[in-house]
Amino acid sequence: MLTVQLFFHGTCFILLSHFLFQEGYYMVETGKQYLVRLESFLKQEVQPIVNQLDTDAEALFEVFDAFIHQNFLSIYIPEKYGGLALSHEEMMACQEMVGRWAGSLGFLQVQAATTTWALLQSKDETFRTQLFERIVNQEIVVGNATSHLKRDRKPSLVGEKVVGGYVLNGINPFASGWGAFDYMMLGFNTADQEVFATIPFKQLPKGITVTPVYKTFVMNSLNTVGIKFDNYFLPQNDVVGAWEMFRFIDRYRERRPYAFPLGIAVEAMSTVEQYVTPAMSDIYTHLMDALNRCREKLYAARCTNINALFAEMIAITLKALQFSILVGPSKELMLSSHLQRLYREILIWFMPRTTPEMLKQALSPTSTVLAE
């Protein structure tokens, strides 16, 4: 049934996208045009089935394939490599829309985006150029599995330097997109470095196996698995780069905050607006004002302390989700409901960037981020 829906609703989008891409028009597409196309795609192709995409991997991957063929991943690749350059404000608008309407699809596209960012840190220009060319030409899609690299964790995947590459042993415990990504960028530890490399993820070579798909509390459709390595030889040609220990995750957290959680909170508040009674209207208005202030800071990049802005977004968006669930209809108490899914999703979006200091600031009883 989903295939039929996608065919009838998406044929014009996909055919037009294919024509424009083949004719080279995407090279001159403006950010505004991109956002119009993206909003239309999300509202027509994704939002009507977004709850289904939380649990149905086949449906999710089908929509992801259409997303790729619309060339929507181009914004994460620099213009010099064939991507589309968006302004900061346009990028924030894109992320807010994806957070609001894309559900699990949004998480898949961010995996590809993080890989792009990591490639830009590499000193191997030839490797980067060749990989970007294949991604832009829609030959491959590369996911990301580096979330296990944390300061407070014992390395679970280690590599030994040998002639021509590394020998890997251990497990990369979390890799989402089994069945969606052609390659996966992973991270592993040596005695004194963190190394990042790509591996085939659809046709596994000798020495690599995957666990059964995990049953997760949200986005179960992502097909999250563990990747096991048993004396797998990783060729040096597949290495993205090496950094001093923990430097990669530190640099990742230094990046500007993203707007995905803001989109989720706005969607939740929009969902329950009709149920807000006069007695609760002041609270609703107060929360919406706080969300709008947060948006202004994100879009204008008026913040010298990224952690403080991210902590503010955590505090505001969590309160908006809690309010929405409390004032919404009783059906929103069901595990499969729209608001419950949004609440679980927002927690996933926070996990990669949250530090203990950030949590203390966001969740402190004396926090003043909502008092402006």
Residue 106 inside a domain? The answer is: yes
150 and 120 within one domain: no
Angstrom CA distances, 129 to 77, 183, 359, stand at 11, 16, 38
Token pair for 45: 């192709």
CB atoms within 10 A of CB 187: 23
Average pLDDT, the chain: 87
Cα–Cα distance measured from residue 53 to residue 221, given in angstroms and rounded to the nearest whole number: 7
Residue 9 inside a domain? The answer is: no
321 and 341 within one domain: yes
115 and 79 within one domain: yes
What does the DSSP assignment read for 130-183? HHHHHHHTTS--EEEE-TT--TTS--SEEEEEETTEEEEEEEEEEE--TTT-SE
Determine which helix (DSSP H) or strand (DSSP E) holds 267, and give its type and residue range.
helix 260-272
Residues 270, 272, 274, 278, CA torsion sign? negative
38-90 pLDDT, tens digit each: 999 999 999 999 999 999 999 999 999 999 999 999 888 889 998 888 898 99
193 and 107 within one domain: no
**How many angstroms separate the most distant Cα atoms in the chain?**
72
Q: Which of 137, 154, 176 is the last residue of a domain?
A: 137
Q: Which of 121, 137, 153 is the last residue of a domain?
A: 137
Residue 26 inside a domain? The answer is: no
Angstrom CA distances, 355 to 10, 185, 196, 252, 306, stand at 41, 23, 22, 12, 12
104 and 36 within one domain: yes
| Tokens 């000193």 -> residue | 123
**pLDDT band per the 50, 70, 90 thresholds, residue 7:** very low
Cα–Cα distance measured from residue 370 to residue 286, given in angstroms and rounded to the nearest whole number: 8
229 and 159 within one domain: yes
Percentage above 90 pLDDT, the chain: 60
pLDDT at residue 352 greater than cutoff 70: yes
CB 296 within 8 A of CB 288: no
183 and 119 within one domain: no
How many structural domains are present in the chain? Answer: 3
Q: Which of 102, 137, 172 is the last residue of a domain?
A: 137
164 and 74 within one domain: no
pTM of this structure: 0.86
Check residues 303 and 192 and name the one with the higher pLDDT.
Answer: 192
Residue 150 inside a domain? The answer is: yes
157 and 123 within one domain: no
3-state secondary structure 21-88: HHHCHHHHCCHHHHHHHHHHHHHHHHHHHCCHHHCCHHHHHHHHHHHHHCCHHHHHCCHHHCCCCCCH
CB 140 within 8 A of CB 112: no
Residue 285 inside a domain? The answer is: yes
CB atoms within 10 A of CB 236: 12
**pLDDT band per the 50, 70, 90 thresholds, residue 18:** very low
Angle at 314 between CA 310 and CA 320, to 5 degrees: 140
Residue 299 inside a domain? The answer is: yes
94 and 182 within one domain: no
Q: What was the pLDDT predicted at 11?
A: 46
Q: Mean of the pLDDT values across residues 129-136? A: 91
Residue 13 inside a domain? The answer is: no
298 burial (CB, 10 Å; 0-12 / 13-18 / 19+) is: buried
152 and 116 within one domain: no
CATH number assigned to the domain comprising residue 104:
1.10.540.10
Q: What residues make up the domain containing 115?
A: 31-137
CATH number assigned to the domain comprising residue 164:
2.40.110.10
Q: What was the pLDDT predicted at 254?
A: 64
Residue 107 inside a domain? The answer is: yes
229 and 211 within one domain: yes
99-127 pLDDT, tens digit each: 999 999 999 999 888 888 888 888 889 98
Say which range, 147-156, 165-174, 294-303, 331-340, has the weakest mean pLDDT: 147-156
pLDDT at residue 15 greater than cutoff 60: no
137-177 pLDDT, tens digit each: 999 999 999 887 766 678 899 999 999 999 999 999 999 99
